[in-house]
A and B are shown apart, each in its own frame.
Chain A
Amino acid sequence: MGIRRLAALGAVSGATLLGAAAPATAAPHPPQNGPGDQPVGPPRIKAQPNPFRPGDNLNLQVTGCEEEPKANGPRNEIFFKGEPASFDDEGGGVWTAIASTRTDLKPGRAYVTEFFCVTPKGPAGFTLRATVAGKPKPPDDGPPGDGDGPGGPPADPRFRFDHGDVRLTTRRAEPGRTVGIRVTCPSRVRAYSASFSSQPRMEWVQKNRWEGVGRYRTHLPSIVRLTVECVGYGKVSFSTEPGRPEVDDGGPTIPRGAPDTGDGSTLSRSGGGSADAAGPLAASLVALAGAGLALRRRTAREDG
């Protein structure tokens, strides 16, 4: 038994004793394998323990992948960067790994990490949703902010604004309906969405607590985005996905990097893009050198 498996066993046993080892949320179905031990069906993932405590190691089991899953999607909120580093191939499309969760996750919040792998039908993405155990943190009753203006220094350097500081009365974005927005923030708060018919007025209700109400338009796009800003401390976004009217933590999916749309083949015939410039430049320099040499010789003859 390798040290990783020993660690996994320990983690699961400890979590069970604590009563924290709940069944997986993301993968209610057992592994489905077809003839020849080939993975069948879409990839699924489950994690134990779930809920977990920040910093816990999670035991991950993925089914339905022909090749090793990777957590290199745009969203990795649960684990430290680079985690899980690798998966062990258990055969039949089943992969296991142990990965360290971040230590700065908020109690009571759900987080998401996106995975990808190659299935018999090609590349596929799947999502792990895991919850941090414990109650949400109490309201921050620290010192009131004095950096009210935009760009002003944060009044409380200990405060870090994130999704855990925003409570929405409903996660469902419905045409014409309202959503209450409650925010913990030691400075000022702005909340806005292009999908609101009018932008909510955020009002101070008590120390570091702000509230407002937004009303959605009567016609909503498939992707609704809501942004809440704690001035001086940053902002967080919530958004829906096509076919899912619930706003989730995080903005819409944004692909990494820039698109690569061209092979340069129309440039390579004339020497490529870089060579494109180098060709005429080289010709000009040769011509220039020749002209300079001829002038110098004529000048020398006449001066002599």
Chain B
Amino acid sequence: MITDAVNQTARRVSNWLVYMLGILPAGWFLYLGLTGGLGAEPIKSLEHELGEFALKLLIAGLCITPLRKHLGVNLIKFRRAIGVLAFTYVFLHLLVWLVLDVQIVSQIWADILKRPYITVGMVGFVLLIPLAVTSNNLSVRNLGVRWRKLHKLTYGIAFLGALHFVMVAKGIQIEPILYMLVVLGLLALRVSKKSPPFQR
């Protein structure tokens, strides 16, 4: 019953609303950063908030299929919006790192090559690009089966995102490990034996 209500509501909610709500936090973080709301070191805070929100969106994207398969909740129409928003936040996170944080071009390139956690993050971002580019109906039609294969890259990307977070932490910290466990759990749902589709 709850499932039906959720599904019916989802049918009525416009994707544009998801886009608009989804971009609000970025504006909010930026506003806080400009007005002293992010503390004494707003650059790192902004960078961190954007990155963490991107990871949350990647995780939300990975939840869509299991929700439908195991609980019968169908939110698939929002998956593209969630994915495009995830790309947007990763991009903004990267932009803050480049422009506000590191600032020095030679150091940026050295960091990408020399620092494993940055390498991991960059690989994740680069893999997101083809997914963002093909997030339109035309690409879905033209690529057919290959589109589905291509978009399985999200599994690897979410893993790289969580790994990036684990690696950047000084010492063993709980929060990034929790993110990693959630990602691994959602990936495990995919490799487990094919369960029958949800039946009512």
The reply to whether chain A is a binding partner of chain B is no
